[in-house]
Amino acid sequence: MKRVLIKPLEPLMFRSQGEFEPLITGSHTTAQSLIIPRPSTIAGMLGYILFNKSSRTGDWLSDLTNLLSTTIYGTFIETNGEYLFPLRMGNYLALVDQQHLINLPILLEKEYEQREKEIYELFYDKNKLFQIINHQDRIGISIDKSTRTVKEHYLYSARYLAFKKEVNYVIFIDNDAISDKINGKIVNFGGENRIAKLEVDDCKVDKGIEEEYYLTLSPILIPDEALDNFLDNISDYVAMGKVDKISLGFDIANTKRKEMLTAILEGSIVKRGIVDFIKKEINNDLLDRFTKYEKIGYNTLMSLCKLAFRKILS
């Protein structure tokens, strides 16, 4: 497989749903960057490099999968040669090394009262998030071009993602054909025309692993038709983490928002049963689309004990 390092060259903005919309949010609107970019952001960046007019179908997801012709696995962080992985407990997000993930399968088998102290240590003592991540706050206004005056109710603030040391985002791709086309490119990454540089190299990792517990490196998408069943039995599938509604981004070509789906967020710990559940619940009408979601980066599961990946459907 090919490892792709995404090297930020300036502060970044990875948006989520509910952004600058004064008619909805009031006179002062805010946006705060995500720590880990969503798969749509990364796939869209790669698709921009490979874009050609003949790839246009009118459907953003088909366009991307046709352009990329690869499956994306990710995302996590590399700094000074060390890999750091997202770990989530409710609204709390940590970045931890694999050494501290290894013991989680044993820990999660214990009663909550027994494991609580060790889990909190991961988030407060072993968490390297605040050692590498900083923020940069910016305030802006909107100007009426016809009068050159400030538009009423268009005051906004944005919290960009900055870094205290060199940080690279890491993904893996399983198609060598596009690696030469993206290696060394400097591209827009995320919102507000932020830029990053791409570097590609070879890396040996396992795929198709079978484990009792997995770390989610990207959101695990739950089809709406299966949502009630999933939520009624959530403890059978999610050991630790968070489930939320997420936006898959904005379709620039067609000037509309992409779909919103319920997802198990990146950094969650899921049980083996989630694989069988989603395979069972995705009917033939949904299979093609959800397989394409996987190809652009969603549904990436990683072993807690080593750098090894799998997808759910493929």
265 and 181 Cβ atoms separated by less than 8 Å = no
Average pLDDT value for residue range 87-93: 92
The pLDDT of residue 42 = 95
Average pLDDT value for residue range 145-174: 86
Helix, strand, coil percentages, rounded to 5, for the chain: 30, 35, 35
173 has a pLDDT exceeding 80: yes
Q: Which residue has the higher pLDDT, 250 or 78?
A: 78
Task: In whole angstroms, give the CA distance from residue 225 to residue 206.
Answer: 32
266 CB-contact burial (10 Å; exposed 0-12 / middle 13-18 / buried 19+): buried
Q: What is the pTM of this model?
A: 0.90
94 has a pLDDT exceeding 80: yes
Strands lying side by side in the sheet with 149-163:
28-32, 149-163, 133-144
85 has a pLDDT exceeding 70: yes
The three-class DSSP label of residue 256 is strand
Q: Which residue has the higher pLDDT, 170 or 59?
A: 170
The pLDDT of residue 184 = 96
Q: Which residue has the higher pLDDT, 279 or 114?
A: 279
User: Predicted confidence band at 22 (pLDDT cuts at 50, 70, 90)?
Assistant: very low
19 has a pLDDT exceeding 50: no
State the average pLDDT for the chain: 89
Q: Which residue has the higher pLDDT, 25 or 167?
A: 167
Query: pLDDT tens, 240-255?
Result: 999 999 988 877 777 7
User: Cα–Cα distances in Å, from 10 out to 158, 160, 161?
Assistant: 15, 10, 9
Residue 142: CB atoms within 10 Å: 14
The pLDDT of residue 20 = 42
Task: In whole angstroms, give the CA distance from residue 126 to residue 121.
Answer: 6
User: Predicted confidence band at 121 (pLDDT cuts at 50, 70, 90)?
Assistant: confident
Average pLDDT value for residue range 49-64: 82
Q: Is the dihedral of CA 76, 63, 294, 314 positive or negative?
A: negative
Task: In whole angstroms, give the CA distance from residue 201 to residue 45.
Answer: 18
Query: pLDDT tens, 30-45?
Result: 778 899 999 999 999 9
In whole angstroms, what separates CA 23 from the centre of its chain? 28
166 has a pLDDT exceeding 90: yes
12 and 194 Cβ atoms separated by less than 8 Å = yes
141 has a pLDDT exceeding 90: no
Query: pLDDT tens, 181-233?
Result: 999 999 999 988 899 999 999 999 999 899 999 999 999 999 999 999 999 99
183 and 200 Cβ atoms separated by less than 8 Å = yes
